[in-house]
Amino acid sequence: MKIFLDTADVGEIREGVAMGMVDGVTTNPTLVSRTGRPFKEVIEEICGIVSGPVSAEAVSMDTQGLIKEANELSSIASNVVVKIPMTVDGLKAVKACAEKGIKTNVTLVFQSLQGLLAAKAGASFVSPFVGRLDDLAGEGMDMVAELLTMLSNYNYSAEVIVASIRHPMHVVQSAMVGAHVVTIPFKVLNSLTKHPLTDRGIEAFLKDYEKIPKG
Ligand code: E4P
């Protein structure tokens, strides 16, 4: 399973890359706004750090506007993937982008059928948001499992990025249902490395090492 970082913080991205864990990055307007920096500058810098796909979100509401933004965003770097919202205008833009060879990531998917339509339109990636569904007492991971089965039934090449990940169990569940990618906040990546018994074990081994006579 590929791991993308869901952040626009270049410090976090550099740290994740140093860990050897970052296959790509997803951003959204909220994440970029937290950096306090210009949008294009941030995306350009991220694309210089990560060689894998970097999702940058288009914000137009109409097809022509989305296509124009897709052209602009994809010219920033060859690894930019244009994030397009799951709307009718969005689907039309995805189709136009696919015809031009521009990669897209259809975002804000909350229903497996929305994901199927995105794949049919030619999206390279589809992003079901599990955490936001779970927040409303939904079952985000059921949607992911359904979507994966649908895409596999009809041999769609779109990769499913499980998004809106809140905790390590979402990552476990994503891997168990065979998601192609999880996109996770940096703090979740960090928590995947940790277990209290690992810390306790290291502490005990270090103490015992001190008891070994020095030769
Ligand atoms: C995905 O591409 C989105 O950026 C992200 O996962 C949204 O997650 P949130 O629900 O934590 O905002």
Q: Whose CA is nearest to atom 1 of ligand 1?
A: 163
Half-sphere exposure of residue 183, counting CA atoms within 13 Å on the CB side?
Answer: 27
What value does the mean pLDDT take over residues 40-44? Answer: 98
Q: Are the CB atoms for 39 and 58 separated by under 8 Å? A: no
| CA 103/CA 53 separation, integer angstroms | 9
Ligand 1 closest atom vs CA 55:
2
Q: Nearest residue CA, atom 12 of ligand 1?
A: 164
Q: How far apart are CA 1 and CA 65, in angstroms?
A: 34
Confidence of residue 8 (pLDDT cuts 50, 70, 90): very high
Helix axes 39-49, 10-18, angle to 10 degrees: 10
Question: For residue 137, what pLDDT band results from cuts at 50, 70 and 90?
Answer: confident
Decide if 178 contacts 152 (C-beta within 8 A).
no
Name the closest-CA residue to atom 6, ligand 1.
Answer: 164
Ligand 1 pocket by Cβ (under 6 Å) = 6, 26, 28, 107, 127, 129, 131-132, 163-164, 183
Active-site entry in 83, 120, 211, 214: 83
- Confidence band for 215, pLDDT divided at 50, 70 and 90: confident
pLDDT of residue 111: 97
Tell me: domain 2-211, CATH 1.10.20.10, correct? no
pLDDT tens readout for residues 54-100: 999 999 999 999 999 999 999 999 999 999 999 999 999 999 999 99
Tell me: the pLDDT tens digits for 190-200? 999 999 999 99
Cβ atoms of 188 and 167 within 8 Å: the answer is yes
Average pLDDT, the chain: 97
pLDDT given at position 28: 98
SS (H, E, C) 9-47: CHHHHHHHHHCCCCCEEECCHHHHHHHCCCHHHHHHHHH
Atom of ligand 1 nearest to the CA of 26: 2
Going by pLDDT thresholds of 50, 70 and 90, the confidence category of residue 148 is very high
Contacts of 82 (CB under 8 A, 6+ apart): 55, 56, 57, 58, 69, 70, 73, 74, 97, 102, 103, 104, 105
pLDDT above 90 (res 205):
yes
| Residue-by-residue DSSP string for 131-200 | HHHHHTT--HHHHHHHHHHHHHHTT--PEEEEBS--SHHHHHHHHHTT-SEEEE-HHHHHHHT--HHHHH
Ligand 1 pocket: which of 2, 28, 54, 106 to mutate (most atoms <8 Å of CB)?
28
Q: Which of 3, 5, 6, 134 to mutate to test the pocket of ligand 1 (most atoms within 8 A of CB)?
A: 6
Dist. CA 198 → ligand 1 center (Å): 30
**For ligand 1, atom 8, which residue shows the shortest CA distance?**
164
pLDDT, residue 138, reads 84
83 is catalytic: yes
Beta bridge partners of 5: 25, 184
Q: Which residue(s) pair with 85 in the sheet?
A: 107
101 pLDDT exceeds 90? Answer: yes
Cα 72 to averaged position of ligand 1 atoms, centre (Å) = 23
Eight-class DSSP state of 214: P
Q: Please name every residue paired with 126 in a beta bridge, in sequence order, or none if there are none.
A: 106, 160
**Average pLDDT rounded to a whole number, residues 41-62:** 98
Q: What is the pLDDT of residue 192?
A: 96
Sketch the domain layout of the chain as residue ranges. Answer: 2-211
Task: Check whether 185 has a pLDDT greater than 90.
Answer: yes
Q: Span 96-114, mean pLDDT? A: 98
